[in-house]
């Protein structure tokens, strides 16, 4: 489809990234509804028709931002998690990468994520990302229990993964609101809250109501 | 401001609740943007001008729904949590009430909560509710550690509370999507994931990176 000659491909990709950087800043500042294409073009130092030509209308620009941020986040985590490591080490590395990413992209996380969460059609994209995260965590927990010779029903692993992912997202929001907080320390806290309990469960210990 | 005579107050309150019930159903079915005042009036069996007269415009109706559901949820939890009980019993009762509420109001939770989360100005209301929840949980954890003679910095209690509240919200979403799932069982699962870890922390055990 593109009529851009091959030698222009790199500049085009670079310009697109610059536009996306500008869009993330503007959506972060204004929120999706109040953000204008004028401001995005201004911030990127480019004409508005060019932004439309490269990325499309505001909704498409937002989806492109979400997609890029989401892909970067998943890649940051995938790069450090090695399935051959012990499960707590995998979880620790994943959490450290996750909170490191959020700490380095506070504005982007806070607004893109909060904006996207409730709003159609963006909510669907985010739900997909979360589903993938839950699958990864449930898979890791499943391998960890299998390695200890215990079989845990898939639903239980899913539920545990949902809880861990939810707790992690909640702490990411906290981190985004606390610029003075250290991402690495936040990852350790999440390990403290989540892993100690998960480790008990993986050992087969459970909590029962006393009544 | 109201010109309604005193003897009409009860019917008015009842009619308002019926309208809110209808509104929750319609917002659940359609989402905030696609929901129409016509459909809400239809569902409530009342004229559209009456809905406006009682509750205001669509945004105000949505806020009234959020406020009612939020208040009911908080009241359901407050009714069962007794600060004199042991902390795991308090957490258990709170979680059981919470998941019981979500299980009984799946549509309302799924759509009101998901809709409200990302969208201004509703996001602010929900953030307030969450902040109150975090305060309650952090307070409970603080009393539990103080009772054991340990002092935990407020930030650490906040962070633990954020993680617990986030995990709980995530499982509520899971429950809303799984009509076959039992709310009580879900509460037990949350205790298993969260409390075992929290209990370790309250005993002063922590997780440390090995590297």
B26 and B109 within one domain = no
Q: Are residues A73 and A141 in the same domain?
A: yes
Mean local confidence (pLDDT), B185-208 = 73
- Residue A186 and residue A94 in one domain: yes
Look at residue B202 in the predicted model and tell me its pLDDT. Answer: 62
pLDDT at A7 over 70: no
A105 or B26, which is more confident: B26
Identify whether A211 is part of a domain: no
| Pair (B81, B129) in one structural domain | yes
- Residues B110, B19 share a domain: no
CB contact set of A1 (below 8 Å; sequence gap of 6+): none
Least confident residue range of A70-79, A104-113, B65-74, B98-107: A104-113
Q: Is residue B88 part of a domain?
A: yes
The DSSP string of B82-149 is: -TTS-HHHHHHHHHHHHHHHHHHTHHIIIIIIHHHHHSTTHHHHHHHHHHHHHHHHHHHHHHHHHHTT
Average pLDDT over residues B11-25: 89
Q: Do A186 and B159 touch (CB under 8 A)?
A: yes
Asked if B39 contacts B26 with a C-beta cutoff of 8 angstroms, the reply is: yes
How many Å apart are CA B87 and CA B102, to the nearest integer? 22
**pLDDT for B37 beyond 90:** yes
How many residues make up chain B in this entry?
Answer: 211
Report which listed range, A47-56, A100-109, B133-142, is most confident. A47-56
Q: Who wins on pLDDT, A161 or B3? A: A161
Query: Does the pLDDT value for residue B186 go beyond 80?
Result: yes
Whole-number average pLDDT of chain A: 81
Structural domain contains residue B2: no
pLDDT per position as a tens digit, B138-182: 888 888 778 778 788 888 888 888 988 898 888 888 888 888 888
Q: Are residues A28 and A92 in the same domain?
A: no
pLDDT tens, residue by residue, B79-136: 988 878 877 788 888 888 988 988 888 777 766 677 777 666 677 777 787 888 888 8
> What is the pLDDT, as a whole number, of residue B198?
65
Assigned token pair, A139: 């898979």
Residue A36 has pLDDT above 70, yes or no: yes
- Confirm or reject contact between A209 and chain B (CB < 8 A): yes
Of A18 and A205, the structure prediction assigns the larger pLDDT to A18
Residue-level pLDDT at B7? 44
- The C-alpha of A56 sits at a distance from chain B's nearest C-alpha, in angstroms, of 23
Task: List the single best residue of B193, B199, B203 to mutate versus A (max A Cβ within 10 A).
Answer: B193
Find the residue in A nearest to B30 (Cα). A120
**pLDDT tens digit sequence for A114-157:** 777 766 667 777 778 788 888 888 888 888 778 778 788 888 88
More confident residue, B38 or B106: B38
- Distance, in Å, from the CA atom of A182 to the CA atom of A188, rounded to the nearest integer, reads 10
Q: Domain check: are B89 and B187 in the same one? A: yes
Residue A88 in tokens:
């707590």
Range scoring the smallest mean pLDDT among A10-14, B3-7, B90-94: B3-7
> What per-residue confidence (pLDDT) applies to B41?
96
CATH number (domain holding residue B177): 1.10.357.10
Judged by CB atoms within 8 Å, which residues 82-141 of A form the interface with B?
A: 88-89, 92, 114-120, 122-123
Report the pLDDT averaged over residues A1-27.
74
pLDDT at A77 over 90: no
Residues A167 and A145 in one domain: yes
Asked whether residue B48 falls in the same domain as residue B80, the answer is no
| A61: in domain | no
Mean pLDDT, rounded, for A17-26: 92
Q: Is the pLDDT of residue B183 over 80?
A: yes
Same-domain pairing of B90 and B174: yes
Q: Which residues of A touch B117 (CB under 8 A)?
A: 114, 117-118
**Does B72 lie at the interface with A, CB-CB under 8 angstroms?**
no
- CATH number, domain of A18, equals 1.10.10.60
Does a structural domain hold residue B125?
Answer: yes
Write down the pLDDT at residue A2.
47
**Structural domain harbouring B46:** 8-56
A87 pLDDT more than 70:
yes
Name the nearest CA neighbour of A210 among B167, B96, B79, B83: B96
Q: Indicate if the pLDDT at residue A108 is higher than 90.
A: no
In a domain, B207, yes or no: no
Give residue A4's pLDDT band: very low, low, confident or very high (50, 70, 90): very low
* Average pLDDT score over residue span B31-50: 92
Name the closest residue on chain B to residue A134, using Cα atoms: B170
- The number of folded domains in chain A is 2
pLDDT of A13 above 70: yes
Inter-chain CB pairs, A–B, below 8 Å = 155
Would you say residue B19 lies in a domain?
Answer: yes
Whether residue B184 lies inside any domain: the answer is: yes
Query: What percent of chain A has pLDDT above 70?
Result: 83
> Phi/psi at A149 (nearest 5 deg)?
75, 15
**pLDDT in the model for residue A6:** 44
**Same domain for A131 and A168?**
yes
Domain end marker among A56, A77, A99: A56
Q: Does B190 lie in the same domain as B156?
A: yes
């Amino acid at each position: 489809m593109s009529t851009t000659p091959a030698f222009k491909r790199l500049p085009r990709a670079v310009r697109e990234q610059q536009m996306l950087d500008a869009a993330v800043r503007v959506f972060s500042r204004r929120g999706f509804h109040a953000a204008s294409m004028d401001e995005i073009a201004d911030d990127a130092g480019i004409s508005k028709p060019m932004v439309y030509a490269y990325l499309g209308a505001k909704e498409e620009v937002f989806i492109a931002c979400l997609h890029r941020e989401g892909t970067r986040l998943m890649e940051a985590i995938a790069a450090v998690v090695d399935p051959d490591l012990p499960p707590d080490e995998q979880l620790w590395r994943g959490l450290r990468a996750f909170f490191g990413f959020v700490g380095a992209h506070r504005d982007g996380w806070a607004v893109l994520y909060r904006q996207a969460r409730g709003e159609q059609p963006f909510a669907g994209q985010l739900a997909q990302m979360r589903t993938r995260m839950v699958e990864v965590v449930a898979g890791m927990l499943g391998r960890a229990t299998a390695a200890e010779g215990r079989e845990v029903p898939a639903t239980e692993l899913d539920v545990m993964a949902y809880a861990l992912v939810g707790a992690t997202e909640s702490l990411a929001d906290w981190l985004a609101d606390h610029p003075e907080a250290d991402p690495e320390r936040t990852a350790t806290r999440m390990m403290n809250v989540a892993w100690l309990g998960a480790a008990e469960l993986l050992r087969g210990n459970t909590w029962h109501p006393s009544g």
